[in-house]
Amino acid sequence: MAAKTLPDPSLCVTATDFEKVAKDVLSEKSWVYVSSSAASGLSMKANIDDWSLINFRPRILRSVDKMDTRKSILGSTSQFPFFVSAMGTLGSSHPGAEPLLVRGATRKGLNTMISTASTKTLEEIMDAHIDEQRLLKNQSPSKLSFQLYVPVDRSKAKSLIQRVKKAGFQSLWVTVDTSTLGKRTADRYLQAQENLAGPKETVLKAGTGEVNSENSYAPAFGGRQVPGSVDAGLTWEDLDWISKEWNGPLVLKGIQSVEDVKMAVELGVQGILLSNHGGRQIHSAPSSLMTLLEIRTYYPEAFDKLEVFVDGGLRDGADVLKALCLGATAVGVGRPYYYALAAYGAEGVERCTDILAEEVEITMKMLGVSSLDQLRPEMINTSRLENEMWRPAFGRSKL
């Protein structure tokens, strides 16, 4: 099939513009994988819609001629208050897969989280980052973190953690919202069609919209869960041996309630990522923004005890600042980078970063702040989101 002529990357003016271009180049399997969510899609819809329920309260006549968008993330300075969220099987989007993603991100000084479910090995991905740093004379502040799916086999889990440590990843983000794979409806329909068509090889090739077999730790592709790849018996007690094995910055990925934030604080982890897995796990999950508001309302002390990250549904750089006003350290961006990589490779990753970075800076200036540490909760109006927020049953009469 002849290669399609794509519009020039400069014609992508917002982060959402990459989606249409990517749809034209992705295979059906890849499109279903990346665009789908759990059940009827309520969780993913909430992720996107809740950002619009918060408005800014700009301040005027403040000096904003010099801007600083840097942010400290787990002890290292990041060029931006956003990062690339973990995404599995990037080989389904582009033959360059994760190495190409990190090259583009490293050129821009952007932090990137690498998934256990990556197409390429973690060593190959880190080599791409190191090589790009060498070309940049080690001037990029970009860091790589690793998202861990804990397998059932403890020896296999420990071996993976040691590989991650040896490779030089900055931090370990333990996935805690995947005791089982969510019911991803679109994937289920596609599987049913494939089953009716007859037996088919499911270990597939990078760049064709299908999975490469280089990584034996990947828990799934689409709706297919690999037996033993995710431990449904994982508990809070397991964080002890994981922390000792890792001996570095540890973040819990997938927190969705303020009660679990308190547990995380008590156990002394360095950070939490508020996330519902891009709407791909539990049906009718709270958006990460809603959980962030819960913390701000019921447990604001958490922001002084650990770093709070947010991902899910972000499509505009202005929304990064909404999360930071509520106390978030930084915000993760997923699907826009998948689409940008699919359409344009590393150049797409760079273009998407430029778009979000410009939107962050434009909004900072109009909000009346010149550095991120000037952001405050009173700079946003959360009234509409508060109307839908969970409330404890204090004083409720017995029925």
- What gap in Å lies between CA 132 and CA 118, rounded to an integer? 19
**pLDDT tier, 394 (very low <50, low <70, confident <90, very high otherwise):** low
pLDDT for the residue 135? 98
Crossing angle of helices 317-325/288-298, nearest 10°?
Answer: 20
- Candidate list 94, 129, 277, 283, residue with the active-site label: 277
pLDDT for the residue 185? 79
Count of residues for the chain?
Answer: 399
**Residue closest to 311 by CA, chosen among 271, 359, 266, 343:** 271
pLDDT for the residue 99? 97
Residues 43 and 284 sit within 8 Å (Cβ to Cβ): yes
pLDDT for the residue 127? 98
pLDDT for the residue 6? 93
pLDDT, one tens digit per residue, over 153-178 is 999 999 999 999 999 999 999 999 98
pLDDT for the residue 398? 42
Residues 397 and 93 sit within 8 Å (Cβ to Cβ): no
pLDDT at position 110 over 70? yes
- 210: Cβ–Cβ under 8 A, 6 or more apart, which residues? 27, 29, 30, 91, 92, 204, 221
pLDDT at position 395 over 50? no
Binding-site entries for glyoxylate = 33, 149, 184, 277, 280
**pLDDT tier, 300 (very low <50, low <70, confident <90, very high otherwise):** very high
Classify domain 9-49+71-366 by CATH number. Answer: 3.20.20.70
Please give the residue that has the higher pLDDT: either 281 or 250.
Answer: 250
pLDDT at position 187 over 80? no
pLDDT at position 265 over 70? yes
pLDDT for the residue 206? 38
* Strand duo 330-333 + 307-311: pairing: parallel
Tell me what the pLDDT averaged over the chain comes to: 90
H/E segment holding residue 321: helix 317-325
Q: Is 277 a catalytic residue?
A: yes
Please give the residue that has the higher pLDDT: either 13 or 202.
Answer: 13
Binding-site entries for FMN = 86-88, 115, 147, 175, 253, 275, 311-315, 334-335
Residue recorded with tokens 């969970």:
390
Binding-site entries = 33, 86-88, 115, 147, 149, 175, 184, 253, 275, 277, 280, 311-315, 334-335
Lowest-confidence segment of 233-242, 273-282, 375-384 by average pLDDT: 273-282
**pLDDT tier, 194 (very low <50, low <70, confident <90, very high otherwise):** confident
pLDDT for the residue 223? 57
**Of the ranges 198-202, 208-212, 329-333, which is most confident?**
329-333
Residues 66 and 370 sit within 8 Å (Cβ to Cβ): yes
pLDDT at position 46 over 90? no
Residue type present at position 142? S
pLDDT for the residue 192? 83
Listed by start position, the domains of the chain span 9-49+71-366
pLDDT, one tens digit per residue, over 112-133 is 999 999 999 999 999 999 999 9
H/E segment holding residue 146: strand 144-148
